[in-house]
Amino acid sequence: MPLIGVHGIIEHVNEQLKEKLKQLPATPGVYFHKSASGEIIYVGKAAVLKNRVRQYFQSKKDFDAKTLALVNEIADTDWLQTESEVDALFLESEMVKRYMPRYNILLRDDKSQTYIRIDMKSEWPTVTFTRNPADDGADYYGPYYNGFAIKKALRYLRKVFPYFTKEPKLPRQPDLDVHLGLSPSIGTSSAEYKHQLKKLVQYIKGGRVALVKEIEKNMNAAAKRQDFEAATIERNRLFNLKSLQQKIMFGDKEFLDISKDQALSDLQQLLGLPHVPARIEGYDISHMGGTNVVASMVVFTNGVSNRAEYRKFKMSHQRNDDTANMAETMARRFSEKNRKAWGVPDLILIDGGKGQLHAAAQAMRSQGVAAPIIGIAKREEQVIISKEHSNIADNQLRQYVATPPDGVVVFVEQGYYTVNLHAGQLNAGGHSKNLRGGEGTYAYSDVTKLFQRIRDESHRFAISYHSRLQRNTQLKSTIEQVPGIGPVTRKKLITTFGSLRAAQSASEQELAKAVGKDKATRLMQYLSRA
């Protein structure tokens, strides 16, 4: 056990850092733990920097082995003070995305992250939360790893920048939210409302200082022209912004779980990869009878979904042939242009069996790329590896055939290895239960869970894009039959309503706002028959 010095700080901490820790302020902020090389290895937020940061170096807290792995690597700590815990919450998320610290990335998981969703393309945008951003044209901000705190922060900010949490019914009537100042006041236009929402987004993105200056400028200008009502609104907004300094978002004892991803090291060993697969890409095809054929590419960085790197492909040929569709997807993904922009992954996972795996590997080879690639068979939930094309260590797999680990069975047939990571367990029945293989723990359970996350996510993203195209196609085909409705009007309708059902349920007044009164009357007649 490390010895404790007179100030209660673990003695292996260097003298320079000990002196630095004495200067920690009793204010909210964000702190940065650094390694001996200067690399930022962890970013955290604190209600009181002095209390939170010193906890890492106090003996009274019984650290587990995982947390000690971080503490033992800390050689220096820096921090940024913020005016409020709300500011610290947003700043922490921005700094994690900017620096991608090793320990932050390893502790993330899909179930903990929360995104703010704002559909600015709607006439009356709403502000909501989700764990799974969709390909729906809305703006998403995040991820944030404390869902409770981010929702609490948005409740406070709603007093400053009133917003809707669900689409308002028109014509609007005063309700409780309006009286409490949580929704835009009656008479506020859509353009004015969107202007205020942009200020909320500016705050979320860290533009608090510039925003305060702008509000003060608007307040003074309104007072000078004796528009005291507008000046009062800006004054109240400024007061509510400053009152955020007194709001408590989170305590000093925030949850910390520095969990090294066992799945990645197991996966490296299982496939004989040269190093831990830091970037894994998953692919899936989605269509309905060969129409609106799309492919998804999801990216997992250090075992966690990295939605900023997701890409989607709309097939150049509409066909009911998943093998050909996968070949086209991989040929486009690994074109010279995309290789330069996105790099080459450490591992590729195809949602499909031997046919799609073979087509994908051949398409990659045609582009001069030889990256490790595997398939997941839909029926038995088994890993498929091509001996010729998968670029997987063949000697490693031959060893597993001879002496497989407990619970693992490897078959060899027709140039393929078929690896069952959950032998003796019941296979899953659908995408919602992929690769779970029962309730027990077995040799590569962490790997199967990782595969499950990647495949489910690639399936979700593909379905999301396909569904959006299908809705647009359905609406477009219907309104193309309406006389006097041209391409420009069709585009407005698709942008505004997005689906035939939404357009059919819209009132004539809502249609008129999008395309004008005459066209709205004409559309109402045809949409009622569709």
Q: Is-contact 114 131, C-beta < 8 A?
A: yes
Please return the burial class of 509, using the count of CB atoms within 10 Å of its CB with bins 0-12, 13-18 and 19+: exposed
Residue 142, pLDDT > 60, answer yes
- Total number of domains constituting the chain: 4
Residue with tokens 């990256």: 371
CA distances for 119 relative to 134, 137, 138, 147, 500, angstroms:
11, 7, 4, 20, 19
Residue 12, pLDDT > 50, answer yes
Residue 60, pLDDT > 60, answer no
Q: Do 165 and 53 fall within a single domain? A: no
Q: Do 297 and 393 fall within a single domain? A: yes
Q: Do 164 and 221 fall within a single domain? A: yes
Most confident of 6-10, 24-28, 207-211, 327-331: 327-331
Task: Look at residue 295 and tell me if it is in a domain.
Answer: yes
Chosen domain end from 40, 75, 107:
107
Q: How far is 112 from 150, CA to CA, in rounded Å?
A: 12
410-454: per-residue pLDDT in tens? Answer: 888 888 888 887 766 654 444 434 444 444 556 677 788 788 878
What is the structure's pLDDT at 88? 86
Give the number of C-alpha atoms closer than 13 A to the C-alpha of residue 436, restricted to the C-beta side: 10
Q: Do 281 and 182 fall within a single domain? A: no
Which of 323, 325, 346, 343 shows the shortest CA–CA distance to 334? 343
| 302 Cβ contact partners less than 8 Å away, ≥ 6 residues apart | 102, 105, 106, 261, 264, 278
281-300: per-residue pLDDT in tens? Answer: 999 998 777 677 888 999 98
Residue 6, pLDDT > 50, answer no
Q: Do 165 and 279 fall within a single domain? A: no
What is the structure's pLDDT at 292? 79
Annotate 213-243 with b (16+ C-beta within 10 A) or e (fewer).
eebeebbeebeeeeeeeebebbbebbebbee
Q: Do 139 and 102 fall within a single domain? A: no
Q: Do 311 and 450 fall within a single domain? A: yes
Which of 482, 521, 478 shows the shortest CA–CA distance to 497? 478
Stretch (H or E) spanning 129: strand 127-130
Q: What is the mean pLDDT of the chain?
A: 77
467-491: per-residue pLDDT in tens? Answer: 776 665 655 555 655 655 666 666 6
* Domain that includes residue 127, residue range: 114-246
Residue 16, pLDDT > 90, answer no
What is the structure's pLDDT at 126? 92
At 7, the pLDDT band (50, 70, 90 cuts) reads very low
What sign does the CA torsion over 367, 373, 377, 378 have? negative
* Angle (CA) 115 121 126, round 5°: 50
219-264: per-residue pLDDT in tens? Answer: 888 888 888 888 888 888 888 777 776 666 565 444 443 334 567 8
198-208: per-residue pLDDT in tens? Answer: 988 888 877 77
Q: Do 32 and 93 fall within a single domain? A: yes
Please return the burial class of 466, using the count of CB atoms within 10 Å of its CB with bins 0-12, 13-18 and 19+: buried
* Strand ranges across the sheet with 40-46: 40-46, 29-34, 76-81
Tell me, what CATH number does 80's domain have? 3.40.1440.10
Residue 138, pLDDT > 50, answer yes
